[in-house]
Amino acid sequence: MIVVCVLGILAAIVIPQISGAKEKAHAVAAGQSMKAIAQAAEHYFVTHGEWPADMNRRQIPPELVPYLPTDDFTRAPLNGVWDFENWQGGSNTAGGDPVAVCISIVEGDESLYLAVDEEIDDGDLSTGTVRYCESSPRLVYVLRFQ
């Protein structure tokens, strides 16, 4: 009976830690994927003098594919979809600042957005490079502000 009680106590301690580790792993994967696409877009900009064109959801600009690692970018992390935006001259905002070019995770698990920001930015979804865009709910990695 004592052994069963000890195992129950250990399970109560370990299970929440495993759950938290899984969420952190999802946040790290999302952040690393966003950074990889951002670096590919910046490399493309430096090479060609312009940003890739705006794409529909679920599509990474084909001109970025040669600059991306071999990872699969057909599905966004956090159960969302990718959206590459080239809004130059537009009025879309994230954290109150007009955004020109960004990578977004749309329709994703919003409960993990802050964890992604803490992983790769400043831990505040209204400042820095990673923002939460309220006007069109999404996690945004800003490449260029207006």
Q: What pLDDT is stored for residue 70 in this prediction?
A: 74
Q: What is the Cα–Cα distance from 43 to 37, expressed in whole angstroms?
A: 10
Nearest residue to 74 (alpha-carbon basis) of 53, 57, 87: 57
Q: What pLDDT is stored for residue 7 in this prediction?
A: 78
Q: What is the pTM of this model?
A: 0.82
Chunked into runs of 10 residues, the chain (146 residues) has average pLDDT values of: 79 69 85 91 94 88 87 82 85 79 90 92 93 88 90
With tokens 């529909």, the residue in question is 56
